[in-house]
C-alpha cells in the first residue's frame, strides 16, 4: 500500500476490529473516490464532492443500487469516523436505477455434474455451499464447533450484516465432516507444539470472554490453511482459513469440465439451493431464514425463476399444434 493516507486508514480500521473483507472493500471505494477527484486530499473535499462521485457511479458507471450503497457506506466511514468531518444526512445525489439481475440457477442435474468434477480437497466446502445455502465467506469461516450433528444443522456467526442464523445440514455430508474435523484435530495437535502458536483468531468483542479457548478444537477453522501465518492485526502466529479464491477457481473449473454454459460462481450454488427448496414446496419464510435475508422481498426474487414465463402465464404458442 503506497499511499500513507490509505495505510493510516487501514491501521485505523484494523485497530478497531473491522473485518478484513470490510477493510478491503472500503479502501477500494475510498481509493476510487480520491482517483475520481484527481487525487485531491479527502480533508479538502466536502459533501458536494461525495455527491458528485455517487452520481457518477449511477450515471457513468451504471452501478447497481447495492454497489452504490456500499460506496456510500465507505465514504460515510471515511468522513464520519476517520476524519471526524461528518457528512450531512440530507445529501443530494442521483440514486442508481439499475435493478438487480435475476439470479443464475443450476438444475439439479447440473449441480450433480458440477459436484462430480470438484476436486476431492474442496468437495466438502463446495457441497456445503449448495447443501446449506452458505455464502462463500460464511463457508470458509466455519469453525469445527459450528457443526451440530445432533440436530443436523450449522451455526453461522456474523454473517452478512453481522447476523447469526442456523441453517440445514445434509445428512449425507456427516461422514465427510467427521473426517474433516479429525484432520483439523491432528493439525491442532501439531500446532500446539509450536511455541509461537497463539491459537485461532477470535472476534475482538469475544476475546476477553474466550481468550483461553482459542486453542481448543471447537474454535479452529473447519477448512484451515496449509501454513501458519502472522495475523496482521495482532502480529501473532495463527492458522487462518483457506483462501476463498481456491473455491472460486475450483467451482469455475468444475463447471467448465461439466459442460455447463451458464456463468457459474460459488454464489450460484446458493441461488440454486434457494430455488430448489422453493420448487420442493418449502415456505418462502423458511427459505428467507435459511438464507439470512432481512426482507422477504429479497427472497422472492427466486420465485421469478420458478414461474413459467411472465407471472406464470403460459404462452398461447404452447397450445398450438404446429
In this structure, the answer to whether residues 52 and 122 fall within a common structural domain is: no
**DSSP 8-class letter at 292:** T
The model's pLDDT over 159-212, given as tens digits with 9 standing for 90+, comes to: 887 889 999 999 999 999 999 999 999 999 999 999 999 999 887 777 777 777
Among 20, 155, 215, 267, the active-site one is: 267
Q: Which of these is catalytic: 10, 18, 135, 143?
A: 135
Domain boundary among 82, 116, 134: 82
Indicate which CATH number applies to the domain containing 21.
1.10.150.130
Q: How confident is the model at residue 310 (pLDDT cuts 50, 70, 90)?
A: low
Whether 55 is in a domain gets the answer yes
- Same domain? For 209 and 242 the reply is yes
Please tell me whether residues 302 and 164 are part of one structural domain.
yes
Question: Mean pLDDT across the chain, nearest whole number?
Answer: 91
Task: Establish if 302 belongs to a structural domain.
Answer: yes
Q: 206 and 187 in contact (C-beta within 8 Å)?
A: no
Residues 115 and 190 in one domain: yes
34 falls within a domain: yes
What sections of the chain are H helices per DSSP? Answer: 4-15, 20-36, 47-59, 65-76, 108-115, 123-131, 136-140, 174-191, 207-210, 244-257, 266-279, 284-291, 296-299, 301-306
Indicate if 16 belongs to the active site: no
Identify the domain boundary among 82, 114, 143: 82
Q: Are residues 239 and 288 in the same domain?
A: yes
pLDDT for 161 equals 78
Mean pLDDT of 232-258: 94
| 27 and 119 together in one domain | no
User: In this structure, are 150 and 30 located in the same domain?
Assistant: no
pLDDT of the residue at 205: 72
Domain count along the chain:
2
Pair (204, 287) in one structural domain: yes
pLDDT at 229 over 90: yes
Q: Which of 236-245, 258-267, 292-301, 302-311 has the lowest mean pLDDT?
A: 302-311
The verdict on 39 and 186 lying in the same domain is no
**In terms of domains, do 163 and 305 share one?**
yes
Q: What percent of the chain has pLDDT over 90?
A: 72
Kindly state whether residues 232 and 296 are assigned to the same domain.
Answer: yes
Residue numbers of the domain that contains 73 = 4-82
Lowest-pLDDT choice from 24-28, 33-37, 285-289, 318-322? 318-322
In this structure, is residue 201 part of a structural domain?
yes
How far apart CA 27 and CA 96 sit, in angstroms, is 21
302 catalytic? Reply is yes
Residue 199 belongs to some domain of the structure: yes
> Is 89 part of any domain?
no
At 168 the three-state DSSP class reads strand
pLDDT number for residue 99: 66
pLDDT classification of 312: cutoffs 50, 70, 90: low
Active-site annotation holds for 261:
no
Query: Same domain for 135 and 278?
Result: yes
User: Considering 35, 160, 163, 249, which one is annotated as catalytic?
Assistant: 160
Determine how many CB atoms are found less than 10 A away from the CB of residue 130.
22
233: in domain: yes
160 carries an active-site annotation: yes
So what's the pLDDT on residue 96?
A: 82
CA gap 47, 295 in Å, rounded: 30
Distance CA 201, CA 241 (A): 10
The model's pTM is 0.82
- Give catalytic status of residue 98 as yes or no: no
Q: What CATH number is associated with residue 201?
A: 1.10.443.10
**pLDDT greater at residue 160 or residue 252:** 252
Kindly state whether residue 315 falls inside one of the protein's structural domains.
Answer: no
Assign 319 to helix, strand or coil.
Answer: helix
Of 143, 238, 239, 270, the catalytic one is 270
Catalytic residue status for 267:
yes
- What is the structure's pLDDT at 209? 77
How many of the other CB atoms lie within 10 Å of CB of 162? 9
Amino acid at each position: 500500500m503506497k499511499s500513507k493516507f490509505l495505510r493510516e486508514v487501514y491501521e485505523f480500521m484494523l485497530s478497531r476490529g473491522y473485518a478484513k473483507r470490510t477493510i478491503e472493500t472500503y479502501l477500494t471505494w475510498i481509493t476510487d473516490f480520491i482517483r475520481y477527484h484527481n487525487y485531491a486530499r479527502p480533508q479538502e473535499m466536502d459533501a458536494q464532492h461525495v455527491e458528485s462521485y455517487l452520481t457518477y457511479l449511477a450515471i457513468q458507471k451504471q452501478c447497481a443500487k447495492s454497489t452504490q450503497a456500499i460506496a456510500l457506506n465507505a465514504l460515510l466511514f471515511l468522513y464520519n469516523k476517520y476524519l471526524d468531518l461528518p457528512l450531512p444526512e440530507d445529501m443530494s445525489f442521483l440514486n442508481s436505477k439499475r435493478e438487480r439481475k435475476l439470479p443464475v440457477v443450476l438444475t439439479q442435474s447440473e449441480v450433480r455434474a458440477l459436484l462430480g468434477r470438484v476436486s476431492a480437497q474442496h468437495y466438502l466446502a463446495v457441497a456445503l455451499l449448495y447443501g446449506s445455502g452458505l455464502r462463500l465467506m460464511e463457508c470458509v469461516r466455519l469453525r469445527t464447533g459450528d457443526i451440530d450433528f445432533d440436530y443436523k444443522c450449522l451455526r453461522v456467526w456474523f454473517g452478512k450484516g453481522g447476523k447469526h442464523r442456523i441453517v440445514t445440514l445434509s445428512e449425507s455430508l456427516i461422514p465427510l465432516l467427521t473426517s474433516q474435523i479429525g484432520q483439523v484435530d491432528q493439525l491442532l495437535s501439531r500446532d500446539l507444539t509450536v511455541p509461537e502458536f497463539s491459537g485461532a483468531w477470535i472476534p475482538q468483542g469475544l476475546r476477553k470472554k474466550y481468550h483461553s479457548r482459542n486453542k481448543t478444537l471447537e474454535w479452529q477453522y473447519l477448512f484451515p490453511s496449509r501454513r501458519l501465518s502472522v495475523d496482521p492485526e495482532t502480529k501473532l502466529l495463527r492458522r487462518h482459513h483457506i483462501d476463498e479464491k481456491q473455491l472460486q477457481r475450483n467451482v469455475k473449473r468444475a463447471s467448465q469440465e461439466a459442460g455447463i454454459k451458464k456463468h457459474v460462481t460459488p454464489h450460484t450454488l446458493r441461488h440454486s439451493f434457494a430455488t430448489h427448496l422453493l420448487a420442493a414446496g418449502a415456505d418462502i419464510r423458511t427459505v428467507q431464514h435459511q438464507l439470512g435475508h432481512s426482507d422477504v422481498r429479497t427472497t422472492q426474487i427466486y420465485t421469478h425463476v420458478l414461474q413459467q414465463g411472465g407471472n406464470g402465464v403460459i404462452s398461447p404458442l404452447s397450445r398450438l399444434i404446429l
